[in-house]
């Protein structure tokens, strides 16, 4: 059994990862400053003797004896990462630097949570890992996109220069329970709006595409990647290659809920990608991994979560 550090462990994906690692019998150190995460996501783990919470910023250096590090700390939704862009790029770059330094010191392995945003608004579709991307380096999304690109550069330089064992996963849109209802991601926005009887907000004409991966599928990929042989570094695209337009997603959610709530259209934000779909051939070949949860099934589990949250909070999210 291993000692595992999860940065951003109080967030949406981090909380599922902590749970999975505890289930697998490991000791877990969850580091989070809760800027976007929530203690409610991990409170059920607090009584487990193998779970340790460190309320700390990943921008600050840390030393601890661990075998593995999953570096997830970073605000992930545009409203959150654009609220304090300087802090976002610092978190992405300095956080990765600190965790790579730690991995080097303890001779441990590090999984770094990168993103499909490294491809920017892609000219190549679907996006293979060999595509270098189309990112506006000075736009309002750059604090995140370029922060993540710089962090990937650091990972590969630590690997080449110091032999640090790295695993870089480029995560595509993922959804599921524990998402923050207010962080402006499309799946949680639509579900919360539909459950509260509001109109669904679509940016642009809704013809832009995304592919949506259920959180359990993604966490399985993280763990498989961490357990893969040392010469497997990635970057690997991790996501669900089924592609839907935003309007199709709205229709699915309305269909599951039997809701006829209306749709309001708002202007598309700057640099919003027109299309997104991962080519997951490398992850499939090297990790034997493919997402298993269909959109309909994943949406139902996510809707149940938000429905419970809504009832707990007396109808207000
Ligand atoms: N969910 C997705 O669809 C998606 C897609 C691409 C990439 N990712 C990446 O996966 C990771 C997790 O994303 P998520 O969806 O769980 O987002 P999230 O916002 O729910 O989780 C991020 C966590 O990091 C913490 N954090 C942020 N800055 C920190 C700092 N300076 N020090 C310590 N903790 C800090 C937050 O409090 C939060 O708990 C992020 O790195 C994100 O970029 C997620």
List the residue whose alpha carbon is closest to atom 35 of ligand 1. 73
Question: What mean pLDDT is predicted for residues 82-95?
Answer: 98
Query: Which residues belong to the active site?
Result: 144
Q: Out of 70, 75, 169, 298, give the residue to mutate to test ligand 1, the one with the largest number of ligand atoms within 8 Å of its CB.
A: 75
Pocket test for ligand 1, best of 5, 6, 7, 8 (most atoms within 8 A of CB): 8
Give the model confidence (pLDDT) of 149-164 as tens digits.
999 999 999 999 999 9
Residue nearest to atom 23 of ligand 1 (CA): 8
Mean pLDDT along residues 281-308: 97
Give residue 75 CA to ligand 1 midpoint distance, Å. 5
Residue 207 carries which DSSP code?
-
pLDDT of residue 77: 92
Q: What is the pLDDT of residue 141?
A: 94
Q: Are 72 and 28 in contact (CB under 8 A)?
A: no
What's 117's DSSP letter?
Answer: G
- Tell me the C-alpha distance between 288 and 291, whole Å: 10
How do strand 68-71 and strand 236-238 relate by DSSP bridges?
unpaired
| The predicted structure's pLDDT at residue 271 | 75
What is the distance in A from the centroid of ligand 1 to the CA of 8? 6
Q: What gap in Å lies between CA 21 and CA 30, rounded to an integer?
A: 11
Distance 32 CA to ligand 1 centre (A): 10
Contact assessment for residue 260 and residue 254, using Cβ atoms and an 8 Å cutoff: yes
229 vs 16, 153, 216, 222, 310, CA distance in Å?
24, 21, 22, 13, 43
Per-residue confidence (pLDDT) for residue 216, from 0 to 100: 98
What CA–CA distance (Å, rounded) separates 241 from 120?
A: 17
Question: For a substitution probing ligand 1, which of 36, 147, 152 has the most ligand atoms within 8 Å of its CB?
Answer: 36
Say what the pLDDT of residue 91 is.
98
pLDDT in tens, 165-177: 999 999 999 999 9
Checking if the pLDDT of 56 tops 80, the result is: yes
Q: What single DSSP character describes residue 291?
A: -
For 207, 253, 283, 304, 305, the CA distances from 178, given in Å and listed in that order, are 27, 18, 25, 11, 8
Cα(181)–Cα(241) distance, rounded to whole angstroms?
A: 25
Q: How far is the CA of 261 from the centre of ligand 1 (A)?
A: 31
Mean pLDDT computed over every residue of the chain: 95
How confident is the model at residue 153, as a pLDDT?
98
CB 209 within 8 A of CB 239: no
Atom of ligand 1 nearest to the CA of 13: 16
* 52-72 mean pLDDT: 98
pTM of the model: 0.96
What pLDDT shows up at residue 302?
98
Range 154-164 burial, b when 16+ CB lie within 10 A, else e:
bbeebbeeeeb
> According to the model, what pLDDT value does residue 183 have?
85
Residue bearing the CA closest to ligand 1, atom 13: 76
Residues 109-122 have pLDDT tens digits of: 999 999 999 999 88
Task: Name the 3-class secondary structure at 51.
Answer: strand
Distance 161 CA to ligand 1 centre (A): 27
pLDDT for the residue numbered 272: 78
What confidence score (pLDDT) does residue 117 get?
Answer: 95
Residues with CB under 6 A from ligand 1: 8, 10-14, 32-37, 57-59, 72-76, 91, 95, 113, 115, 171, 173-174, 180
Name the residue with the closest Cα to ligand 1, atom 26: 73
Using the predicted structure, report yes or no on whether residue 315 has a pLDDT greater than 80.
no
3-state secondary structure of 40: helix
Which token pair is 129?
A: 């890992």
Q: Which protein residue has the closest C-alpha to ligand 1 atom 27? A: 74
Where do we find the tokens 């570094």? 233
Residue bearing tokens 């004409």 = 205
Nearest Cα neighbor of 43 from 62, 30, 26, 59 is 30
Question: Measured in whole angstroms, how far is the alpha carbon of residue 305 from the centre of its chain?
Answer: 18
Q: Give the model's pLDDT for residue 173.
A: 94
Residue 194 is predicted with a pLDDT of 95
CA nearest ligand 1 atom 28, residue = 74
Q: What is the pLDDT of residues 1-15, one digit of tens each?
A: 999 999 999 999 999
Q: What is the mean pLDDT of residues 206-231?
A: 97
Average pLDDT over residues 181-206: 93
CA of 73 to the centre of ligand 1 (A): 5
Question: Encoding tokens for residue 58?
Answer: 């990943």
Task: Specify the pLDDT at position 250.
Answer: 96
């Amino acid at each position: 059994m291993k000692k595992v550090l999860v940065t951003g462990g109080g967030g949406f994906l981090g909380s599922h990862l902590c749970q999975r690692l505890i289930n697998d019998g490991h000791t877990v150190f969850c580091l989070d400053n809760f800027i976007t995460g929530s203690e409610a996501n991990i409170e059920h783990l607090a009584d487990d003797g193998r779970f340790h919470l460190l309320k700390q910023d990943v921008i600050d250096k840390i030393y601890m004896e661990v075998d593995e590090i999953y570096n997830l700390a970073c605000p992930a939704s545009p409203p959150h990462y654009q609220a304090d862009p300087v802090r976002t790029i610092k978190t992405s770059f300095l956080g990765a630097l600190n965790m790579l330094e730690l991995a080097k010191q303890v001779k441990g392995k590090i999984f770094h949570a990168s993103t499909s945003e490294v491809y920017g608004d892609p000219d190549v579709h679907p996006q293979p890992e060999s595509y270098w991307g189309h990112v506006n380096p000075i736009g309002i999304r750059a604090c995140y996109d370029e922060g993540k690109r710089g962090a990937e550069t650091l990972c590969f330089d630590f690997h080449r220069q110091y032999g640090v064992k790295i695993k870089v996963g480029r995560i595509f849109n993922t959804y599921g329970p524990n998402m923050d209802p207010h962080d402006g991601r499309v799946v949680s926005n639509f579900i919360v709006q539909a459950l509260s009887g509001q109109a669904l907000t679509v940016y642009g004409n809704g013809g832009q595409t995304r592919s949506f991966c259920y959180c359990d599928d993604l966490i399985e990929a993280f763990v498989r990647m961490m357990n893969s042989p040392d010469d497997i570094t990635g970057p690997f695209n991790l996501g669900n290659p089924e592609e839907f337009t935003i309007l199709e997603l709205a229709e699915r959610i309305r269909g599951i809920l039997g809701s006829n709530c209306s749709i309001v259209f708002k202007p598309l934000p700057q640099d919003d990608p027109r299309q997104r779909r991962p080519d997951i051939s490398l992850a499939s070949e090297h990790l034997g991994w493919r997402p298993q949860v269909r959109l309909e099934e994943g949406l139902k589990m996510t809707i149940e979560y938000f429905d419970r949250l809504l009832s707990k909070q007396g109808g207000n999210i």
